[in-house]
Amino acid sequence: MQDFLRYLLEHARQYKKEIFFVLLGSFLVGISTGLMAYTLKPLLDDLFISKDKNLLYLLPTAIFFIYVGKGIGRFLKDYYSAFISGSVSNSIRVIFLEHIVSLDLNTFNKLGSGQIIGKIISDVDKIKLFLLNNVSNFIKSIVSVIFLIALIVYHSPKLAFVSLVILPLMIYPLLIFAKRMKIDSKTSQDKISIVVHKINEILHNFEIIKSFNSEKIEISKFKARIKEYFSFYMKAEKTNALISPMMEIGSSIAIGVAIIVGGMEVINETMSVGSFVSFITALIFLYEPIKSLSIDYNRLQECVASYDRLKEVFDIKSVIIDGGKILNEKIVNISFCDTSLKYTEKLVLENINADILENDTVALIGNSGGGKSSFSNLISRFYDASSGEVLINGQNIKNYNKASLRSKISLVSQSTFIFNDTIANNITYANTYNKERLKKAIKQAYCEFVYDFELGIDTILDEYGSNISGGQKQRIAIARAIYKNPDVYIFDEATSALDNESELFIKQSIKELAKNKIVILIAHRISSIEYANKIFLFRDGEIVASGNSKDIKTNKFYLQLVGEMSN
């Protein structure tokens, strides 16, 4: 809990003015409750019994100003709590996402999108609502409790002791419940991440679900996950719901004892009617802030559970350590020296030796899962070699700053991603806008279809590019790679969704791009390797043959692959 409170303080300390207003507002609201209880004594003793006419106007005026102060306090408390909670939750979300995008690909894939979305939305929302409602309520309740206890002690120390002796007996079970609440809340949040993951999976595979008529199957799976989450959610809420009845039972005992003992004092004329009514009213008022404190404490436990879930991710560090050297020079040579790569315990590349030079167009071919994509991922340093080295211009790739390395590499993968933005911004993504350069990239990627839209390159593409075809998405992705003007192009079956005419045109463009560049083609079609001057033949994580098509034309595995590609 201390870690969580320290974490909140680090984020909130920059809002000192806003915190002051929250404290002031909470104090005004908290003290007004005690003041209202106190006014009952002069109202009964001095106005009604002693007939003091001066109080006839003085008391209503005092009550008016008490409520004005309470109203001002409530505004300050609610408004500035909303500002602080919104600002802090936004800050946590930004920092969390910055941490996520800093992770290496392997670590990111292990987390899963559902877990990430669940934490960044649901867990941060828990913290936001705690800051919005519970922190200011906690301060207000503390002020109310202190003032009301002071008031009942002022009226009758003996009666106060008799009435409040039950308080510790009420607090102990609440602390037990709070501990259980933290456990149940964390489990509940874990389950909601699984629910979010399932929603994400359904939305991303919508077309497949439709084609297999599996809507009912997926809904059935979703219902099972919702049911599992709901059972843990209700366990947490059951614990929370027990607070009020426990408080009410305890309060009824305290009030009952106070009426018996205090009533005897009034009968014996050792306590005035006004003091007695003010005492009982203060005792009744005391129930609400004490109940509020117990609820706030339970909500704090929920937030600690959410913080622990966030911290689990914050504690994960990228296994790829950034190098200090900025890669300013052009990439003219990429070498693999006895390079192996493991995903968890599975060896996906073993003892790879390869040399790629400027002006090379290299085709990577092989069986599915043979290591082609893993080979290209090492060049972009999405992963680090488990053993051996990858050299860029003779230097170990680990020595280079990742951002400077990746700025010189363009990747076009099979699964092209389109941003919900204009065509122009999709093509110029993460680069400075240049109109002539954009036109050239559009032409080289055979992307002139963009001018057919009413708004041309200013047309906004729908989520995942749903308003354009698969081939058009691929051409925009190729245009994006060309616009970047890198030293190294990696095309992972980048023409798989294109028609023959588009494919021929883009292949011609790739030939032109290869001048003074390095082009790496992960190929699944025979046509993709026809103009490669080097071919690396992958089989089960090894390069079993390399050279041009003449050098390896007698390799049986190569002939088998070519036959499969041709068919």
> For the residues 110-122, what does the mean pLDDT come to?
84
- Type and span of the H or E element at 230: helix 215-241
Q: What is the pLDDT of residue 497?
A: 62
Contact 87, 29 (CB under 8 A): no
Burial grade of 101 (CB within 10 A; 0-12, 13-18, 19 or more)? exposed
DSSP state of 461: P
Q: Is the pLDDT of residue 47 over 60?
A: no
Q: State pLDDT tens for residues 58-93.
A: 778 888 988 899 999 999 999 999 999 999 999 999
255 vs 325, more confident: 325
What percent of the chain shows pLDDT beyond 90? 41
Task: Give the mean model confidence (pLDDT) for residues 309-321.
Answer: 91
pLDDT digits (tens, 9 = 90+) for 339-380: 999 987 789 999 999 999 999 999 999 888 899 999 999 999
User: What is the tally of helices (H) and strands (E) in the chain?
Assistant: 20, 10
DSSP string, 83-115: HHHHHHHHHHHHHHHHHHHHS-HHHHHHH-HHH
CA 127/CA 92 separation, integer angstroms: 10
Cβ neighbours of residue 49 under 8 Å, at least 6 residues apart?
A: 272, 273, 274
Does residue 417 or residue 177 have the better pLDDT? Answer: 417
At 49 the pLDDT is: 61
Confidence tier at 45 by pLDDT (50, 70, 90): low
Q: Is the dihedral of CA 206, 208, 213, 216 positive or negative?
A: negative
For 305-330, what is the mean pLDDT?
92
Query: φ, ψ for residue 522 (rounded to 5)?
Result: -90, 110
What pLDDT does 158 receive? 85
Q: How far apart are CA 333 and CA 509, in angstroms?
A: 22
- Residue pLDDT, tens place only, 188-200: 888 888 888 888 8
Q: How far apart are the first and last CA of the chain?
A: 64
**Average pLDDT of span 37-51:** 66
pLDDT at residue 528 above 80?
no
3-state SS, 345-393, equals CEEEEEEEEEEEECCCEEEEEECCCCCHHHHHHHHCCCCCCCEEEEEEC
Q: Residue 462: helix, strand or coil by DSSP?
A: coil
Report which of 519, 434, 443, 449 is spatially closest to residue 484, judged by C-alpha positions: 434
Query: In the structure, what pLDDT confidence band is assigned to residue 331 with cuts at 50, 70 and 90?
Result: very high
Which run of H or E residues covers position 289?
Answer: helix 273-314
113 versus 449: the higher-pLDDT residue is 449
48: pLDDT strictly greater than 70: no
* Phi-psi domain of 446 (left: phi exceeds 0; alpha: psi -120 through 50; beta: other): left
pLDDT score for 54 = 67
Look-up of token digits 């301060």: 139
What is the pTM for the complete model shown?
Answer: 0.79
Per-residue confidence band for 175, with pLDDT thresholds at 50, 70 and 90: confident
pLDDT tens digits along 126-158:
899 899 988 998 999 999 989 888 888 888 888
- Residue-level pLDDT at 502: 75
The overall average pLDDT reported for the chain is 87
Angle, helix 273-314 to helix 135-155, in steps of 10 degrees: 150
Domains of the chain with bracketed CATH: 2-314 (1.20.1560.10), 333-566 (3.40.50.300)
pLDDT, position 275: 83
Confidence at 184, pLDDT banded by 50, 70, 90:
confident
Burial class, 504, CB count within 10 angstroms (exposed 0-12 / middle 13-18 / buried 19+): middle
Tokens of 125: 């929302």
In percent, the amount of the chain with pLDDT more than 70 equals: 95
Distance CA 34, CA 284 (A): 11
Instruction: Give the CA count within 13 Å in the CB-facing half-sphere of 78.
Output: 7
The pair phi, psi for residue 72, each rounded to 5°, is: -60, -45
Give residue-wise pLDDT tens across range 494-522.
766 677 777 778 788 888 888 899 999 99
Query: Which candidate, 340, 331, 341, places its Cα nearest to that of 520?
Result: 331
Q: How many CB atoms lie within 10 A of CB 392?
A: 24
Query: Residue 397 has what pLDDT?
Result: 98
Cα–Cα separations (whole angstroms), residue 54 to 43, 59, 125? 11, 9, 53
Among candidate residues 518, 515, 498, the one with its CA nearest the CA of residue 445:
498
Distance from CA of residue 561 to its chain's centroid? 44
* pLDDT at 565 exceeding the cut of 90: no
* pLDDT for residue 530 is more than 90: no
Encoding tokens for residue 134? 């519970």
